[in-house]
Every structure is written in structure tokens, then in C-alpha cells.
Structure 1
């Protein structure tokens, strides 16, 4: 198969556990671009969390906020917001439970709990600037995703009350909340449709629970060696860890870049 585009998750995929770009990953992305194949970020993060990464790797396009906001070379292609009614119910339920929320717009984000240690613990793990405080931010801005901060299992109380939303845990103290049909695959499909590229002509790399749909959608779904165990069943190939040359190994396997010995494998 001749692939035309590759989608990369960020945390645990392009970045190692220390949130650094491994040098072999940096070189592999450069080789991929030189081969004429388009690299694209596909992440649960908001755009303001990874602008630096786009600049570092020379990547121009992204699927962000778990498929909620898609940009191709500076042009907005697709957006999906959480319905206001669902936000109202989520705010009500979380208020009763005492669970903080962080509301993510496409340009900035804010929490409804000021100076909360649980929020800081989760957000700081991303190595990003902390959110501002504005409890009513969700009323005046389009919200694409919400962080719900609660302990493992406590999200079960929300499920019957919010059937239009899905909850994906990414930290012991935090989950992504997005529309029930939302996923990275939704945003990727929007980009593929706009570019006239078939899913089987695409590759995706990921390591987390929010990568299941995109690995299944594309022609070649690659799971990192450090992946969540539940992701492996959705992958066509399992590569090495992010910090052990996993990106290069996967791209060589897909015959997108040379194997370093002068020939593609």
C-alpha cells in the first residue's frame, strides 16, 4: 500500500514520558516529510497545548480536542462543540458531587474551581500552562471538550444522566468529556474527506484509550510499545516504545521511510 498521510498522537507517541521529542522521532518525521507523505497531529489536547510541537517538527495540520477541532495548513476544516444543554447538566451534576471542571475552547481554557490541588495535579502532568479561573466560561464560548476531575469509578454516576456524552480517562484524577459520537476518528475522517484521501491510504500512531477509533479507521493502525493494554487489540502493528525508536520502527515497517541501510524494508 502507498500511504499518503500519517496521523500522530502526542503524549506517549511523539513525546516520551518526560514530554520530550526523542531525537530519532524528530529525524523520522523529517524523513517522512521528505518522502512526500504528510504528517498530521491527532490529539486530545487543545491547539494551545501543542503549538510549540508543530513548530519544532514543522507540522502544519492537526486534529485536536479528540476530533473536535480540525485545521489543515491554517484552514479550519471541521469543528464539533458540546451542546449547551449537556454542559448545563454536567455543571449541575459536578457541582453536587464537588468535582471540578475545566472547559476547553479552541483558543483558551478555564476552570470553575479556583486554585484546586486536584486540577493542578492533572493539568501539570501535561506540562502546560494552568487554566484561568472563570466558572461561567462555558456560557459564552464554544466548548469542545471538558476535563472532569474525579477519582477512578466516580464518573459512573454521570453516565445515566448524560447519555449524549462520553468519558475517557487520561489521568487517575481526570477524564476527557466530549460528545458521545466524538473521537479522533471523526476529525480524521473530516480531513480525509476534504483532501480526497481514502482511509486505507492513511496511517495512525497512538498509545491511549482515545486512540482506539482512529487506529481502526485507517489502513494501518500502529500502537506504541508503551500503549494502554486495551489499545493493542485495535492495532494492526505494535511498534517499540516512544523512547525506544517506536516512531521510526513503525514508519520503516510501513515502508514510508528507509530502514537506514539504503533501502526501504
Structure 2
């Protein structure tokens, strides 16, 4: 039998509306592992932001930072930092425009501004604190992703100014900042290559705008019932919400349970 793999987004997918992993999801993941099916995480978070998820589910391989940093069984197999010149220009524009920005390495997030309400409020929705402040962090560390805190109208300025970057919204006042062309799907390609798994034997669960490419490129993409319409349109199937045993039911739908 050919090897199979299932990729899981975290927020709104593995986690329910209380930011907890439902018992049915824990049971489903264990069942896959017992059958020899590879389980992996695919998230926009940096690794240190989901240590507890990996520990609870016994998952050691992941596509993190929206495909920018990929680890298989504890070994980094792919990394794609943002170009430093472009990053410098982004920092300059946010500074002159008065917009908040945070940047992340493979294991840290640092903000340029202290106690900014947009940072505080958006991070609170995923139960994360306002990151520490270090205005020089991006000069000393490889930066894989930025967090830009702007509304939709303000974002258009950045879309026009930086064709080399991709801005993916995840909150009314927050977007992820990535190199153009990057996505979870790119990171997943690297994982499949290392494992020798054919794309048609891959499955992916997600709910957000940053899951669209992953859901479209997987052998079978399954959108959560609570997913945005763009994710549902990209997926081959739609399961129940993350708070209504959506992972368990989705795996049953595709015959893995």
C-alpha cells in the first residue's frame, strides 16, 4: 500500500472555537498514526507557537510560517527567508505611515512598536500575547514572515508598492507578509518530495485564506464547515466545523477512518 499523509491547519481546524483540540480530533489523529498514515501540521504560526499542539498530538513534522519553514522529524528540510533589501523597504514604509509591524524568525516574533492595539487585539484572537519589542530584530535574524497591522484600505498601498511580497489577511487589522509565490502548498511539496509520497496520496484540512493553495493542490482538500468561502471553493469536500467534530467526520468522508 502506498504511503499517505494528512496535513492539518491549526487555528479553526485542529483547534475549536475555544482554541482547544477536541477529543474527537485527538482520537482521529491517533487512529491515523496507528494505521501508519503520516500526520503533519501546516500552519502560519512559527514552531514555538504550536509546541503544545505537536506534543498533544504526537506530531513531529510540520510546514510552518505559511510554507516558509519546513521540518521533518526534527530536521529542517526547507527555509525561505524574505529578501533583506525588500524587508528594509517594508520597515521604512510602515514607519513613515505609522503602521505597526512585527517580524518572525524560525523561533521568535518581535514587534517594532510597543503595546500597539492592533497587535494586541489580533494576537488575542489566537490567544497569543503582544510580542516583545526589538526594532533591530529584522537586521540580525533571517525573517521568514512579517505581520502587518492594517485594514483593507490601508493594505492596498502595500499591495501596489511591493509586488515581490504577498499579503494574506487573517484578521480585520492583520495580514501575514510573505515572499510572492510562497504558500503552504510550496512547503508541502518539499515534504512530499522528502517522504517520496505522491501528491494524489496527500490530504489537507484548512479553513482560512492561507489554506486556499494547500486545499487546491492536495490530493483531496477538505475545508472545515467554519471555513471562509474561498477555502471551501478550493477544497474538494467540506466537513463539519472544527467545533462539531469536523476532523473526525472529514476523515470518515475520505475513507481514512
Q: Say whether the fold is shared (TM-score over 0.5).
A: yes
Partner in structure 1 of residue 181 of structure 2 = 181
Give the Cα–Cα distance (whole angstroms) in 2 for the partners of residues 129 and 48 of structure 1. 13
Whether the 8 Å contact between 2:223 and 2:238 is mirrored in structure 1 is yes
Partner in structure 1 of residue 170 of structure 2 = 170
Partner in structure 1 of residue 107 of structure 2 = 107
Partner in structure 2 of residue 142 of structure 1 = 142
**What's the TM-score once normalised by structure 2's chain length?**
0.97
TM-fit CA distance, 1:129: 3.7
Give the Cα–Cα distance (whole angstroms) in 1 for the partners of residues 245 and 2 of structure 2. 22
Partner in structure 2 of residue 244 of structure 1 = 244
Relative to structure 1, the CA distance from residue 133 to residue 79 in structure 2 (aligned partners, 3 Å threshold; closer, same or farther) is same
Give the Cα–Cα distance (whole angstroms) in 2 for the partners of residues 220 and 195 of structure 1. 18
Whether the 8 Å contact between 1:3 and 1:202 is mirrored in structure 2 is no
Question: How many residue pairs get matched?
Answer: 257
TM-fit CA distance, 1:123: 1.3
1:199-238 correspondence runs (5 A):
199-238=199-238
Which ranges of structure 1 fall in alignment gaps of 5 or more residues?
258-265
Match of 2:152, SS state, is coil
Match of 1:166, SS state, is strand
Partner in structure 2 of residue 35 of structure 1 = 35
Partner in structure 1 of residue 124 of structure 2 = 124
Between stretches 82-91 and 117-126, larger displacement belongs to 117-126
Partner in structure 2 of residue 195 of structure 1 = 195
- Give deviations 1:27-71, integer Å, cap 9, x for gaps: 111111111101100001110110000001111110000000000
Whether the 8 Å contact between 2:3 and 2:197 is mirrored in structure 1 is no
TM-fit CA distance, 1:2: 6.1
Give the Cα–Cα distance (whole angstroms) in 1 for the partners of residues 236 and 85 of structure 2. 39
Whether the 8 Å contact between 2:184 and 2:213 is mirrored in structure 1 is yes
Match of 1:44, SS state, is coil
Which ranges of structure 2 fall in alignment gaps of 5 or more residues?
none
RMSD value, Cα: 1.2
Deviating beyond 4 angstroms after TM superposition, the runs of 4 or more aligned structure 1 residues are none
Between stretches 149-158 and 71-80, larger displacement belongs to 149-158
Whether the 8 Å contact between 1:41 and 1:62 is mirrored in structure 2 is yes
Whether the 8 Å contact between 2:29 and 2:57 is mirrored in structure 1 is yes
Partner in structure 2 of residue 89 of structure 1 = 89
Relative to structure 1, the CA distance from residue 2 to residue 252 in structure 2 (aligned partners, 3 Å threshold; closer, same or farther) is farther
Give the Cα–Cα distance (whole angstroms) in 1 for the partners of residues 221 and 36 of structure 2. 20
TM-fit CA distance, 1:7: 0.3
**What's the TM-score once normalised by structure 1's chain length?**
0.95
Give the Cα–Cα distance (whole angstroms) in 2 for the partners of residues 135 and 123 of structure 1. 19
Give the Cα–Cα distance (whole angstroms) in 2 for the partners of residues 174 and 3 of structure 1. 38
